Structure 1
């Protein structure tokens, strides 16, 4: 499948996540400074959309129970979540973001 366009860089606002779908994979796209990240848009604890939570300090917070996940690794940094979420490679091409949903950076199989 390879890299596919997810959105424009200007669509991703600091402090928030953007929900996008590529193929059958739902993603939360987030920005930290000049870096962009793509994680599975599904909390590993409660199966709700992470894109509805806040983004800060390179973490995304689940709005339901407050679990946080590292945007770089997908690892949870607080309970109640104990399992990581899948993270995906992102490329910036001009003003667009491309994500490879066929490859996970952390080896986690999307749920």
Structure 2
């Protein structure tokens, strides 16, 4: 079942960066790729539940600020130690200048 929630304005996310979005007791991360596409994942690293909002975004990779664990934010795939559990990803759509994510 779809549950689309407005997360932010499209212009709030800088290219090749992310912002934090909290909803319903959960934290999400909204990304904007160098190709001007938007993506969403859980906002906490699967390694030690650290917020990814201060992490470094390079191309399609988010690097956790604590132990430098890296994920592909487009697919959620964990890219090596110390992270071994993938990030959950969420469908995203942009309508009327706003970014929506489907939190299911």
| Aligned equivalent of 1:109 | none
The answer as to whether partners of 2:15 and 2:36 remain within 8 angstroms in 1 is no
The answer as to whether partners of 1:15 and 1:54 remain within 8 angstroms in 2 is no
Deviations 1:56-109 (A, max 9, x none): 11111101111111111111112110000110000000200000111xxxxxxx
Aligned CA RMSD, in angstroms, stands at 1.2
| Aligned equivalent of 2:45 | 43
Take 1:47 and 1:22, find their aligned partners in 2: how far apart are those partners? Answer: 17
| Aligned equivalent of 2:32 | 31
- The alignment status of 1:61 with 2:36, answered yes or no, reads no
TM-score, normalised to structure 2's length?
Answer: 0.92
Q: Tell me how many residue pairs correspond in the alignment.
A: 102
TM-score, normalised to structure 1's length?
Answer: 0.86
- The alignment status of 1:10 with 2:11, answered yes or no, reads yes
| Aligned equivalent of 1:20 | 21
Structure 2 alignment gaps of length 5 or more: none
Instruction: Return the offset for 1:16.
Output: 2.3
Take 1:81 and 1:36, find their aligned partners in 2: how far apart are those partners? Answer: 23
Bigger relative contact order, structure 1 or 2, given CA contacts below 8 A and separation 6+? 2
Instruction: Return the offset for 1:17.
Output: 1.4
SS in structure 2 at match of 1:10: helix
- The alignment status of 1:77 with 2:79, answered yes or no, reads yes
